[in-house]
């Protein structure tokens, strides 16, 4: 198992990211980058070779491709595939090793003093299956949001990227917390039933934890209450429908579990800074 190591500070810097889809029968093309290329498979499969080493990356797994190494798809995907990609660079030293730390404290190289920050070796696996993929996908959605074009968004992108990298570090160290486990179960339920009317009692009964405890866990892990997360997820599905269909706003609202179209429009505007119709127009302009 290969680990990527980064001497921090400085922390790796996010450059650009996005999403792409493969239809069954397609493969990734050949190229070489001067920066890191992280590929996270949300759905499907991706078969990549880097420097002669083949990798198969499936649902909930990621692969980081190393700068200067040629990579290409060595086999067609057998199913439709959805992938997040991120490009980032390391200003400081980095390396590739075949062993990792037992815990975070082993990574610290120098303690902070009154004038200099602590120095440590940050490590993530080059390829791994995530124990908590939904939390990572939430960070990716925040990082790659196309509607959050405020003046401070580039700075917030770097913060989301750092959160994602810390999440991958924690996964590499195998230290899932109880709060993360409860949050993951809650997210799975909310995503499976978002199109229905959901009450906290339903969530509590299905994942077998008290409502207050679920709320505390989600606030600690995501900074959101269950209802806030549910609204965000419903709006993310609504944005997908606005971008890919001509359905009426009321129909999209109902399909995402919000029966009151007026409330849906107000919630959408409050969250996205524009109405659903304005969002659809923005997406259509970007395609032209």
pLDDT in tens, 5-49: 888 888 999 999 999 888 888 888 888 899 999 999 999 999 999
Examine the pLDDT at 100 and tell me if it is beyond 60: no
- The pLDDT, as a whole number, for residue 146 is 57
pTM of the model as a whole: 0.59
Residue 157 lies in a domain: no
Q: Is residue 71 assigned to a domain?
A: yes
- pLDDT over 90 at 265, yes or no: yes
Using pLDDT thresholds of 50, 70 and 90, give the confidence band for residue 147. low
Using CA of residue 204, residue 209, residue 212, residue 213, what is the dihedral sign? negative
| pLDDT confidence of residue 29 | 81
User: Residue 255: pLDDT band by 50, 70, 90 thresholds?
Assistant: very high
Q: What is the mean pLDDT of residues 94-110?
A: 63
Give the pLDDT mean for 50-54: 90
3-state secondary structure of 29: coil
pLDDT in the model for residue 27: 82
Query: Do 42 and 134 lie in a common domain?
Result: yes
97 and 15 both lie in a single domain: yes
- CATH at 276: 1.10.10.60
In a shared domain, residues 129 and 19: yes
195 and 118 housed in the same domain: no
Domain assignment present for residue 155? The answer is no
Which domain CATH number covers 122? 2.60.120.10
**Same structural domain for residues 121 and 230?**
no
Provide the domain limits for residue 202: 178-287
Chain centroid offset of residue 9 CA: 23
Does residue 152 lie in a domain region?
no
Q: Which pLDDT tens digit goes with each residue over 129-139? A: 998 888 899 89
Residues in the chain: 288
In this structure, the answer to whether residues 10 and 108 fall within a common structural domain is yes
**Lowest mean pLDDT: which of 100-104, 115-119, 270-274?**
100-104
Q: Looking at the structure, do residues 130 and 15 belong to the same domain, yes or no?
A: yes
* 158 falls within a domain: no
What's the mean pLDDT in 151-169?
A: 87
Q: Which residues contact 258 (CB under 8 A, 6 or more apart)?
A: 234, 264, 267
> Does residue 171 sit within a domain?
no
For residues 105 and 199, membership in a common domain is answered with no
C-alpha span between 184 and 175 (Å, rounded): 14
Residue 221 lies in a domain: yes
Q: What is the pLDDT of residue 110?
A: 66
Per-residue pLDDT band at 149 (split at 50, 70, 90): low
CA dihedral (167, 37, 137, 274) positive or negative = positive
- The rounded distance, in Å, linking the Cα atoms of 177 and 87 is 29
Residues 196-203: what's their mean pLDDT? 95
Mean pLDDT of the chain: 88
Please compute, for residue 270, the number of CA atoms within 13 A of its CA located in the half-sphere on the CB side: 9
Longest dimension (CA), the chain: 59
Confidence of residue 107 (pLDDT cuts 50, 70, 90): low
pLDDT at 165: 92
Which of 138, 158, 191 terminates a domain? The answer is 138
Q: Mean pLDDT over residues 158-174, rounded?
A: 86
Helix H, strand E, coil C: the string for 196-258 is CCCCHHHHHHHHCCCHHHHHHHHHHHHCCCHHHHHHHHHHHHHHHHHHHCCCCHHHHHHHCCC
- The residue among 218, 207, 202, 276 whose CA lies nearest residue 246 is 276
Our count of domains for the chain comes to 2
């Amino acid at each position: 198992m290969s680990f990527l190591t980064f001497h921090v500070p400085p922390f790796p810097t996010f450059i650009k990211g996005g999403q792409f889809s493969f239809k069954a029968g397609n493969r990734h093309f050949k190229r070489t980058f001067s920066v890191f290329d992280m590929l996270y498979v949300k759905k499907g499969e991706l078969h990549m070779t880097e420097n002669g080493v083949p990798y198969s990356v499936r649902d909930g797994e990621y692969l980081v491709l190393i700068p200067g190494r040629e990579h290409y798809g060595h086999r067609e995907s057998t199913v439709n595939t959805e992938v997040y990609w991120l490009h980032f660079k390391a200003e400081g030293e980095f390396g590739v090793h075949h062993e990792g730390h037992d815990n975070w404290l082993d990574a610290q190289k120098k303690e902070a003093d009154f004038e200099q920050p602590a120095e440590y070796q940050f490590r993530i696996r080059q390829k791994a299956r995530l124990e908590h993929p939904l939390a990572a996908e939430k960070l990716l959605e925040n990082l790659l949001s196309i509607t959050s074009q405020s003046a401070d968004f580039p700075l917030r992108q770097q913060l989301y990227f750092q959160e994602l990298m810390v999440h991958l570090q924690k996964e590499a160290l195998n230290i899932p917390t109880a709060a993360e486990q409860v949050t993951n179960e809650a997210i799975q339920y909310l995503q499976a039933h978002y199109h229905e009317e959901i009450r906290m009692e339903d969530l509590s009964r299905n994942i077998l934890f008290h409502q207050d405890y679920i709320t505390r866990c989600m606030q600690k892990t995501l900074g959101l209450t269950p209802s806030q997360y549910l609204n965000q997820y419903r709006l993310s599905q609504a944005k997908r429908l606005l971008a890919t269909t001509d359905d009426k706003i009321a129909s999209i609202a109902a399909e995402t579990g919000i029966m009151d179209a007026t409330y849906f429009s107000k919630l959408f505007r409050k969250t996205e800074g524009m109405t659903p119709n304005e969002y659809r127009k923005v997406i259509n302009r970007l395609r032209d």
